[in-house]
């Protein structure tokens, strides 16, 4: 039964299986295991990023497309929900309407981008998506009437998921409120979406994608219309990212250009997918968890180190909690050199694909 | 020995002697074309002139930073997504150099200012070149030919570098004021032309002239141009192109450093992310110009500079998309860029 | 005395095993023809000699020195000039720039050996005629001339030319034959891959025939030309 649920894509390594189980359990019971606002925020962010990074893995790891415009769809999803809830009456209808429009827009844009990727060389495409991604981010802050500009949009969410909605007395020190419901809503959605992605990449469609990634010429020669497959992959990846964006907006009850559209997020996603392991989906899950937890808790660790080294200011600067991207970048570069298959690939013992 | 008649069914076309190659003028004509189109949109000739000079200056600065990158790509198929690092590093080193030279930059005498600036630029170029050599050795060399890894690893290198800059110089903005004599503007009728921007255009032209001379009049330049077309054949002729590549990469980094100083002076302040910000523009420029072509990079950069400045005045909302719009328009006309290098 | 010798050379390109143990000798100062059907592995052999493709097994000796593991520029620097099948002309460069590039010892045009250049101009008048023209604008035959002219702009120990007469009009082919005969007279070892049978017969002192990645015949051209049955067996036609 488990096999079918995971679409026959078993972890393949005992350690990985343990990690995944820990992850699922941790996320499922997180709010009760570690009480407090920070913990539940971190957990929700992990869930959302798992979906976002997995969608990027679909594009990069399985189809072999390097696109720096991916967070654009994340932003579209988030803004869709945010704008709809601001302009219309807050409630499930506006959320649905916003999400629907965001998905439609993502579909169209992804379609165009997907088609475009076939007309130019991969390097060109990467550069151009970098430009488009940056431009889109600044466009969002420019259209302040619609998007609230730099300040972003704060809005109300449906009552049942808002923090004010207390439906029972606190259990085990955790408030039984709308926030908890929202969390489990996101948890459920994440589970469904990840399993869906596993199903997609392990289907015949997914295998064709991998064939195209490995040798486009041969795939075309065998008879698969590369155009169709790659465009579909681009659209599907965009849709999942869009959904992740919607979840983010619902959780934060706020959205702004830095929250979902910034290049920083794109870079973070890229780092996660490489460190976690490209082309595995599980890599996105493990990677996102490690990354987000580290981002929030490692900084405390770094701060300790910073204080301890305060007598040597130069060294202390290296350990400043703000500089955690330095260490992540280092880890990323080392990972590309020595663990090209990422954490998951290394645990599974996957040999490196020769291009 | 009898001389056999050479039969040439298609006579070869005569070439203009300046570059010894046939020169396609159409892309260059885009420049005056766009300038002329902008004139009625801008309205007043004096504003137009100011914008044009600003655009050309910006274009020149972008060209200086982009020229190395396009040659590196054309020569060895290596795209450095961390190129912005050399730009930022150069600028920061320049600030460090100008610190003790405050008397010279504060002086109202132009020559003192220029000397101080010259020192700063030289320091920036040397520092960026050194960083470039290290970057090539550690980050780039292991991933020749593997495009995906190149993108990832050069990005990673760029991120690490940017963070290190924050470690050394702090994460916040640092001012980079113009030297005394270069502040302000020169009046040409109603138009006010910033002194610094005029200097930038001059420096840009000098850089282009030096590059063009090296590429077209020296054997080294010959090797680079040949290598961009057919690397294998150059090796078969007996030249170690690997060493040449390191040289080109380091030169490109030095130029990026110079560009960084100039960009910093343009903005009058530095932020650690400045490299990344310019990076996007540089990529657009070298795609427009044609990967591997220095002339293309120049024209592309000037076009982008002009377009961004005109659009920024006439339709401010569209500024960010102006360069992308230009890119798409050019690619629709010439999918390989303005001056595509013959592909091997 | 052999200028070049290959022993048991295997070459793999990706998953494809092209050369299956090539044994070839190229005698010094003579013209050796490498014949064979399309796809027999002739170009692969030349590229392997030049180090453009690595031999997976076997020895390659040039002038007594082992060169199988050397990088291409080193092999070229030992005095081997290579003219590939696609000619390798730098289309954006002028004819004179192409020539200058091929002259390793020359830093500027003035450094080129005047008398040698004059000799090359006599052999290939097109090179002189289109000296300042962009090489890409030349016709196919003229490019071929340029390619060979480049190879001989400085004295070399050995010339390796892949299909010098390919796509050339008959009048130009005889030009090429004249040129190579003159080169032969200077004592340069030459290894030519050829499909044009007259060309091969007129110029070759020795002949090696290749099929399916191995050498199936190696001997003097005169013996080969006389033996019609051997020719038919190996090449499917008579020289």
CATH code assigned at A168: 1.10.3470
The C-alpha atoms of residue A129 and residue A125 are separated, in whole angstroms, by: 6
Chain B residues with CB under 8 Å of A63 CB are none
- For residue C125, give the chain B residue with the closest CA: B6
Residue B267 lies in a domain: yes
pLDDT of residue B10: 42
Q: Which helix or strand (DSSP H or E) is residue A135 part of?
A: helix A122-142
Q: Which of B137, B147, B162, B280 to mutate to test binding with chain A, by most A CBs within 10 Å of its CB? A: B280
Residue B1 lies in a domain: no
Residue A355 lies in a domain: no
pLDDT of residue B14: 44
Contact criterion met (CB < 8 Å) for B1 and C77: no
Chain B residues with CB under 8 Å of A142 CB are 317, 320
Nearest Cα of chain A lies from the Cα of B300 at a distance, in angstroms, of 15
Share of chain A above pLDDT 70, in %: 96
Residue A209 lies in a domain: yes
Residue A179 lies in a domain: yes
Task: Decide if C104 contacts C115 (C-beta within 8 A).
Answer: no
Stronger pLDDT, A32 or B62, i.e. the higher one: B62
Q: Which residues pair with A153 in a beta bridge?
A: A255
Task: Report whether pLDDT(C161) > 70.
Answer: yes
pLDDT of residue B2: 40
What average pLDDT score do residues B41-59 get?
A: 86
The C-alpha atoms of residue B307 and residue B68 are separated, in whole angstroms, by: 23
Nearest Cα of chain B lies from the Cα of A179 at a distance, in angstroms, of 35
Residue A62 lies in a domain: yes
| C 34-53 residues with CB < 8 A to B | 50, 52
Residue B205 lies in a domain: yes
What average pLDDT score do residues C22-34 get?
A: 91
User: Hey, is the C-beta of B145 within 8 angstroms of any chain C C-beta?
Assistant: no
> Range of B165's domain?
63-273
Q: What ipTM does the predicted assembly reach? A: 0.89
Residue B183 lies in a domain: yes
Confidence class for position A314, pLDDT limits 50, 70, 90: low
- For residue B5, give the chain C residue with the closest CA: C171
At C216-236, the pLDDT tens digits run: 888 888 888 888 777 777 766
> Range of A303's domain?
2-348
Secondary structure class of B259 (helix, strand, coil): helix
Task: Report whether pLDDT(B303) > 60.
Answer: yes
Contact criterion met (CB < 8 Å) for B12 and C137: yes
φ and ψ of C124, to 5 deg: -130, 80
The single-letter DSSP state of residue C50 is: T
Confidence class for position B342, pLDDT limits 50, 70, 90: low
Confidence class for position A50, pLDDT limits 50, 70, 90: very high
Residue B194 lies in a domain: yes
Those residues with Cβ within 8 angstroms of residue A146's Cβ, 6 or more apart along the chain or in another chain: A83
* Burial of A266 (C-beta count, 10 Å sphere; 0-12/13-18/19+): buried
Nearest Cα of chain C lies from the Cα of B220 at a distance, in angstroms, of 9
Confidence class for position B305, pLDDT limits 50, 70, 90: very high
The single-letter DSSP state of residue B186 is: E
Residue A211 lies in a domain: yes
Number of domains in chain A: 1
Task: Decide if A212 contacts A89 (C-beta within 8 A).
Answer: no
pLDDT of residue A241: 95
Chain B residues with CB under 8 Å of A139 CB are 320-321
At A205-239, the pLDDT tens digits run: 888 888 888 887 788 888 888 888 888 999 999 99
What average pLDDT score do residues C177-193 get?
A: 89
Chain B residues with CB under 8 Å of A317 CB are 167-168
Q: How many Cα neighbours within 13 Å face the side chain of A135?
A: 20
Chain B residues with CB under 8 Å of A119 CB are 335
Tokens (6 digits) for A87 = 């302009």
Residue B331 lies in a domain: no
Residue bearing tokens 């990645």: C213
Chain C residues with CB under 8 Å of B238 CB are 73, 76-77, 104
Q: Which residues pair with B312 in a beta bridge?
A: none
Those residues with Cβ within 8 angstroms of residue A217's Cβ, 6 or more apart along the chain or in another chain: none
Angle between helices B84-98 and B110-135 (to 10 degrees): 140
Query: Which of C50, C93, C172 lies closest to B7 in CB terms?
Result: C172
| B 259-278 residues with CB < 8 A to A | 276
Residue A354 lies in a domain: no
pLDDT of residue A78: 92
Task: Report whether pLDDT(B105) > 80.
Answer: no
Residue A353 lies in a domain: no
Task: Report whether pLDDT(B21) > 60.
Answer: no
Tokens (6 digits) for C123 = 């052999």
Tokens (6 digits) for B8 = 């040439």
At A259-301, the pLDDT tens digits run: 888 888 998 899 899 889 888 888 999 999 988 888 887 777 7
At C93-103, the pLDDT tens digits run: 899 999 999 99
- How far is CA C26 from each of CA B125, B255, C3, C185, C206, rounded to the nearest angstrom? 52, 50, 6, 17, 8
Q: How many Cα neighbours within 13 Å face the side chain of C228?
A: 1
Number of domains in chain B: 1
- For residue C174, give the chain B residue with the closest CA: B4
Closest CA to A59 of A236, A202, A318: A236
């Amino acid at each position: 039964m488990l096999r079918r649920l995971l679409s026959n894509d078993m972890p393949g390594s005992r350690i990985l299986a343990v990690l995944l189980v820990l992850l699922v359990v941790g996320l499922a019971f997180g709010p009760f295991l570690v009480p407090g606002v920070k913990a539940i925020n971190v957990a929700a962010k992990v869930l959302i990023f798992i979906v976002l990074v997995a969608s990027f893995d679909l594009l990069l790891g399985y189809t072999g497309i390097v696109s720096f415009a991916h967070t654009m769809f994340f932003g579209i999803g988030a803004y869709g929900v945010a704008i709809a809830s601001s302009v219309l009456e807050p409630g499930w209808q506006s959320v649905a309407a916003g999400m629907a429009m965001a998905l439609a827009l993502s579909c169209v844009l992804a379609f165009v981008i997907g088609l475009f990727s076939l007309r130019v060389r991969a390097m060109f495409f990467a550069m151009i998506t970098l430009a488009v991604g940056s431009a889109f981010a600044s466009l969002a802050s420019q259209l302040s009437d619609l998007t609230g500009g730099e300040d972003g949009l704060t809005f109300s969410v449906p009552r049942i998921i808002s923090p004010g909605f207390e439906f029972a007395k606190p259990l085990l020190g955790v408030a039984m409120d709308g926030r908890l419901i929202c969390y489990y809503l996101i948890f459920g959605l994440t589970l469904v979406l990840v399993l869906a992605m596993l199903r997609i990449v392990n289907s015949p469609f997914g295998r064709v994608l991998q064939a195209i990634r490995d040798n486009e010429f041969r795939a075309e020669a065998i008879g698969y219309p590369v155009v169709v497959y790659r465009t579909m992959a681009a659209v599907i990846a965009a849709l999942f990212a869009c959904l992740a964006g919607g979840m983010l907006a619902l959780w934060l009850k706020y959205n702004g250009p830095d929250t979902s559209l910034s290049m920083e997020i794109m870079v973070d996603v890229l780092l996660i997918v490489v460190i976690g392991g490209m082309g595995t989906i599980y890599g996105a899950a493990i990677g996102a968890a490690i990354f987000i937890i580290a981002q929030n808790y490692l900084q405390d660790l770094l701060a300790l180190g910073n204080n301890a080294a305060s007598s040597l200011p130069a060294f202390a600067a290296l350990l400043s909690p703000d500089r955690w991207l330095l260490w992540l970048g280092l880890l990323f570069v080392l990972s590309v050199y020595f663990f090209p298959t990422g954490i998951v690939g290394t645990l599974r013992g996957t040999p490196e694909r020769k291009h | 020995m009898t001389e056999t008649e050479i039969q040439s069914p298609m006579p070869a076309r005569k070439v203009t002697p300046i570059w010894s190659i046939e020169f396609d003028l159409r892309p260059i004509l885009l420049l005056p074309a766009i300038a002329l189109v902008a004139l009625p949109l801008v309205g007043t000739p004096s504003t137009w002139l100011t914008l044009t000079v600003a655009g050309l200056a910006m274009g020149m600065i972008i060209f200086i930073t982009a020229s190395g990158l396009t040659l590196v790509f054309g020569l060895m198929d290596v795209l450095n997504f961390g190129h912005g690092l050399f730009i930022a590093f150069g600028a920061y080193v320049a600030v460090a150099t100008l610190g003790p030279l405050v008397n010279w930059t504060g002086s109202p005498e132009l020559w003192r200012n220029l000397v101080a600036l010259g020192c700063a630029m030289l320091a920036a170029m040397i520092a960026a070149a050194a960083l470039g050599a290290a970057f090539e050795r550690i980050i780039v060399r292991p991933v020749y030919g593997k495009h995906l890894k190149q993108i990832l690893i050069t990005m990673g290198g760029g991120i690490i570098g940017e963070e290190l800059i924050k470690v050394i110089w702090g994460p916040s903005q640092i001012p980079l004021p113009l030297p005394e004599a270069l502040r302000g503007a020169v009046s040409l009728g109603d138009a006010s032309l910033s002194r610094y921007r005029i200097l930038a255009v001059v420096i840009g032209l000098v850089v282009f002239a030096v590059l063009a001379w090296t590429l077209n009049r020296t054997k080294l330049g010959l090797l680079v141009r040949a290598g961009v077309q057919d690397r294998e054949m150059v090796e078969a002729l007996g030249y170690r192109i690997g060493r040449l590549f390191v040289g080109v990469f380091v030169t490109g980094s030095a130029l990026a450093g110079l560009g960084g100083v100039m960009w910093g002076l343009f903005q009058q302040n530095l932020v650690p992310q400045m490299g990344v910000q310019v990076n996007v523009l540089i990529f657009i420029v070298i795609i427009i110009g044609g990967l591997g072509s220095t002339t293309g990079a120049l024209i592309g950069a000037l076009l982008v500079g002009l377009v961004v400045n005109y659009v920024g005045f006439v339709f401010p909302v569209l500024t960010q998309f102006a360069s992308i719009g230009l890119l798409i328009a050019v690619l629709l006309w010439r999918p390989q860029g303005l001056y595509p290098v013959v592909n091997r | 005395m052999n200028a070049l010798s290959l022993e048991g050379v295997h070459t793999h390109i990706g998953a494809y095993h092209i050369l299956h143990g090539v044994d070839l000798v190229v005698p010094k100062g003579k013209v050796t023809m490498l014949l064979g059907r399309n796809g027999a592995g002739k170009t692969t052999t030349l590229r392997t000699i030049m180090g453009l493709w690595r031999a997976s097994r076997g020895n390659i000796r040039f002038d007594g020195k082992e060169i199988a593991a050397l990088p291409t520029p080193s092999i070229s620097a030992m005095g081997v000039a290579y003219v590939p099948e696609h000619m390798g002309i730098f289309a954006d460069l002028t004819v004179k720039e192409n020539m200058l590039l091929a002259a390793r010892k020359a830093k500027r045009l003035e450094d080129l050996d005047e008398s040698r250049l004059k000799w090359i101009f006599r052999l290939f008048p097109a090179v002189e005629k289109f000296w300042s023209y962009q090489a890409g604008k030349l016709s196919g035959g003229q490019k071929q001339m340029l390619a060979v002219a480049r190879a001989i702009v400085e004295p070399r120990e050995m010339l390796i030319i892949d299909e010098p007469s390919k796509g050339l009009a008959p009048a130009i082919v005889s030009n090429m034959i004249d040129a190579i005969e003159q080169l032969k007279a200077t004592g340069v070892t030459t290894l030519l891959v050829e499909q044009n049978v007259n060309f091969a017969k007129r110029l070759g002192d020795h002949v090696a025939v290749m099929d399916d990645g191995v050498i199936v015949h190696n001997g003097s051209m005169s013996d080969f030309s006389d033996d019609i049955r051997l020719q038919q067996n190996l090449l499917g036609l008579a020289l």
